[in-house]
Chains A and B, each alone.
Chain A
Amino acid sequence: MARKVTTRHKIVATAAAWAVALIIFFPILYTIITSFKSETEAIAGFKLIPSFTTESYREVQGQYNYFKPFMNSVILSVGSTLLALLIAVPAAWAMAFSPTKRTKDVLMWMLSTKMMPAVAVLFPMYIIFRDLGLLDSRIGLTLMLTMINLPIVVWMLYTYFREIPGEILEAARMDGASLWNEIVYVLTPMAVPGIASTMLLNIILAWNEAFWTIRLTTTEAAPLTAFISSFSSPQGLFWAKLSAASTLAIAPILIMGWFSQKQLVRGLTFGAVK
């Protein structure tokens, strides 16, 4: 029997959903509010309506160069995502369309690397990076972020490719398509939504990665995560400025996430429901 959904149910459920969303979003919201306060206001106590001063933003911009870490964030997240896709697309392809007995094990092994605490390999990684001269370099950090997110990218793409019915590829073969034509005209157009949402999610993950980006950089390759982190020690007591810096760091990804939420939700639930 179908459950009866009354208007009251709907109102209560909607209100509850908004409440949960607000609780989750509140720290970010309060950071944004605080960034529009003066330092005296920020330290005075809890207050939801700021005086809407942009003084903190001007100071952050004046004292520190926001543009450089911002560009580093863009280069690192986009670069590592493209590199990861370059490796993961053929890998996921092979696993989805010509699986062997060990394919599932390989996938599990890849994912298991995500279960290890990053700090466990901090010293070996640091030493390797130091010896290879990769410390505080964009190339080094791009490689690092690629390696960190590769298992997730492979998993997501694998799930997508698995959804493409084999019979469609066989139909293309019967229709006279060469392997190249099969990839260009049939496979790729069908996989584009999957590749796009994987790309979006990976950019977000790379953008927000803070453990390695803070520890393996100083100034040259430092992205926004390191920018905020460096801000918090000398400016620790200046909450408004810290909030302004944080807002500047999260704004680009928040805006991108907002505009691509449809693809992201589709990407995260793909395969779960048909």
Chain B
Amino acid sequence: MGNITLKNVSKSFGATNIIPDIDLVIEDGEFVVFVGPSGCGKSTLLRLIAGLEDTSGGTIEIDGRDVTNEAPAKRKLAMVFQSYALYPHMTVAKNIAFPLKMAGEDQATIDRKVKAAAATLNLTNYLERRPGQLSGGQRQRVAIGRAIVRQPSAFLFDEPLSNLDAALRGTMRLEITELHQQLKTTMIYVTHDQVEAMTMADKIVVLNAGNIEQVGSPMELYKAPKNLFVAGFIGSPKMNLVTGAAAAKHNAATIGIRPEHLRVTTPGEWKATVGVAEHLGSDTFLHVNSEVGPLTVRADGEIKVAHGDEIWLTPDAAKLHRFDTDGKAIR
């Protein structure tokens, strides 16, 4: 089981209030991603759940049991750190075996479980090596191996892929998602990368300045962002935000149009000049200066436009997002 409930959780460091007041329910087996910009409190929130930091207020429950004042070791959680945090003086096998040894398992059980974990993570040939002799991706796998052997009630990941190169990040993202499907254990994953959040999560928690801005499935957040912050944070490239007369026409202070919901048409609603055209093959991202301000357009991969070309753009009215003066979505 792995139900985690946060009730009025707060955290201050001296006079600095990092997390004012958070309520959150994480269901058993869910893949939850905490996402937000640097310094939004997402790592702190994870460390509060782990027990590596003490809360300043509120309670944390795991499977209905109040663990607010319990030591990390007692919470039955496993954590994968950004720096991998492997024990440099131990071999891969000993690193993976460490939590089992601490739990007092017998040697035969330890050997069996270590072998099974190594097989799952393609580490069988590296069991006798030390962390220093492994690549970044392999080290990350060892860290994951150390987490899975003890069959925790939930896994905590603190930006585990940020030290890897782009290609490896893609592979590891897939591997972690597959691992979740296989183990069906609760996973809480912290990242500042909204692509990781969108692709991996069952549920995304968007954080900003220690507050939860919105909780929902990736598509809920994409289709119906509650406010300007979420609208601007989720989606790549970012949503275009337009103010002024163009927004007033739709009875809003700000309107948001995702780059994929802007079409290049003749004639169209807004006139624009192409600044940069990024041809990615499958898509072309056009960064244009329009009469309503700078916009990003996701156009067809085959489109033939270049710097300085004049084009017309038409937003998809059905997929327009409207926001009031406070930045809240108008439904």
Which residues of A come within 8 Å of B, CB atoms?
A: 165, 167-168, 170-178, 181, 185-186, 189-190
The answer on a CB contact under 8 Å between A181 and B102 is: yes
User: Can you name 12 A-B residue pairings with CB atoms under 8 Å?
Assistant: A167-B83, A167-B85, A170-B81, A173-B52, A173-B71, A175-B78, A175-B102, A176-B99, A176-B150, A177-B102, A186-B87, A190-B87
Measured in the bound complex, the distance between the Cα atoms of B102 and A190 in whole Å is 18
Are B72 and A173 neighbours in the complex by a CB distance under 8 Å? yes
| Contacts A174-B52, A176-B150, A185-B98 supplied; 9 other A-B pairs, CB < 8 Å | A168-B87, A171-B79, A172-B87, A173-B72, A175-B146, A175-B150, A176-B99, A176-B102, A177-B102
Contacting residues of chain B (44-60) with chain A, CB-CB under 8 angstroms: 50-52
**What residues of chain A lie closer than 8 Å to B71, measured between beta carbons?**
173
C-alpha spacing A168/B102, complex, angstroms? 15
Measured CB to CB, the closest approach of chain A to B243, in angstroms, equals 44
Whether the Cβ atoms of B99 and A175 lie closer than 8 Å is yes
Known: A165-B85, A189-B89, A190-B88. A174 touches B102 (CB 8 A): no
B residues in contact with A185, CB < 8 Å: 87, 98
Interchain CA distance A185-B71 in the complex, whole Å: 19
Contact A175:B98 (CB < 8 A) given known A186-B87, A189-B89, A190-B89: yes
Distance between Cα atoms of A117 and B129 in the complex (Å): 51
> How many residues does chain B have at the interface if contact means C-beta atoms less than 8 Å apart?
23
Asked whether, in the complex, the Cβ of A174 is within 8 Å of the Cβ of B72, the reply is yes
Closest to A181 in B: B102
**B103 CB, nearest partner CB in chain A, Å:** 6
Please state if B52 and A170 are interface contacts (CB–CB under 8 Å).
Answer: yes
Are B81 and A171 interface neighbours, CB within 8 A? yes
Contact residues in B for A168 (Cβ distance below 8 Å): 85-88
Known: A173-B72, A175-B146, A176-B150. A167 touches B102 (CB 8 A): no
**B77: Cβ under 8 A from any A Cβ:** yes
Interface pairs A-B: 10 shortest CB-CB: A171-B85, A176-B102, A175-B99, A167-B85, A176-B73, A174-B79, A189-B89, A173-B72, A167-B81, A168-B85
Residues on A with beta carbons closer than 8 Å to the beta carbon of B98: 172, 175, 177, 185
- For B88, the closest partner residue in chain A by CB is A190
**What 0/1 pattern do residues 142 to 171 of B give for CB contact below 8 A with A?**
000010001000000000000000000000
Once the chains bind, are A165 and B103 in contact (CB under 8 Å)?
no
CA distance A190 to B90 in the complex (A): 10
**Are A177 and B73 interface neighbours, CB within 8 A?**
yes
CB-based nearest B residue for A177: B102
Q: Chain A residues with Cβ under 8 A from B81's Cβ? A: 167, 170-171
- CB nearest neighbor in B for A192: B89
- Bound-complex Cα distance A96 to B143 (A): 25
Is the Cβ of A174 less than 8 Å from the Cβ of B78?
yes
